[in-house]
Amino acid sequence: EVQLVQSGAEVKNPGESLKISCKGSGYSFTSYWIGWVRQMPGKGLEWMGIIYPGDSDTRYSPSFQGQVTISADKSISTAYLQWSSLKASDTAMYYCARRCAAADAFNIWGQGTMVTVSS
Amino acid sequence: EIVLTQSPGTLSLSPGERATLSCRASQSVSSSYLAWYQQKPGQAPRLLIYGASSRATGIPDRFSGSGSGTDFTLTISRLEPEDFAVYYCQQYGSSSITFGQGTRLEIK
């Protein structure tokens, strides 16, 4: 079964760093783009960026460029999203999603990682 | 960056009725790069339509997509109780992806 499994919920203080993960299984991890999507509480979906694990080619949304870092370790089929200094406004659900082979859409989604930043 | 505007914001219908959801782009989008998703509370989004009109695997044929250029439509021909959810359109262009703000489909 093709799936993406994300790391568990996090509660952090403002200013702390964080790295969340998304592990792919059931397919060739290096052959599909993985994207990250933010959903703030009660709000819509926002694309953050996308990475091709085969060569680590990474693209960022202008809104998130410089705010987060997307990376991947193909040896363990895992993509990452990290922050160096969290803010309260980073409180959100974060989804990873795999891009279709045949189209520019995300057909496989992780279950989401809830990040809460609060003092 | 291409902005996608969905309308209406909320659509109130009854089971069995037909739903028509709109997605308008601020500039032309290639049909190959327009997708629709469904999201239910507490769940990740699910891909319904890609390439503007192709149903994703396992999606019932009551869901259909159409449109081109700047105007796209998701139609649900006959609403089932499980179809009441939030729907998002999404486009990919010039190495950038954007989502619409969503349409909430609620039971009347």
Concatenated DSSP letters of A21-38: EEEEESS-GGGS-EEEEE
Q: What is the pLDDT of residue A101?
A: 75
**What's the mean pLDDT in B49-71?**
95
- Do the beta carbons of residue B72 and residue B34 sit within 8 Å? yes
Q: What is the pLDDT of residues B63-74, one digit of tens each?
A: 999 999 999 999
The Cα of B46 is separated from the nearest Cα of chain A by a number of Å equal to 7
- Do the beta carbons of residue B97 and residue A103 sit within 8 Å? no
In chain B, whose CA is at the least distance from the CA of A39? Answer: B44
Whether residue A112 and residue B57 make contact (CB cut-off 8 A), yes or no, is: no
Q: What is the pLDDT of residue B86?
A: 98
Measure the CA–CA gap between B41 and B45, rounded to whole angstroms.
10
Which residues of A, range 5-34, sit inside 8 Å of B by Cβ?
Answer: none
Is B59 in the A-facing interface, judged by CB distances under 8 Å? Answer: no
The Cα of A45 is separated from the nearest Cα of chain B by a number of Å equal to 6
Written as tens digits, the pLDDT of chain A (119 aa) is 999 999 999 999 999 999 999 999 999 999 999 999 999 999 999 999 999 999 999 999 999 999 999 999 999 999 999 999 999 999 999 999 999 877 789 999 999 999 999 99
- From chain B, the residues in CB contact with A3 under 8 A are none
Phi-psi region of A66 (alpha: psi -120 to 50; beta: other; left: phi over 0): left
Q: Which of B91, B105, B60 is nearest to A45 (CA)?
A: B91
User: How many beta-carbon pairs below 8 A join chains A and B?
Assistant: 70
Whether residue B45 and residue A112 make contact (CB cut-off 8 A), yes or no, is: no
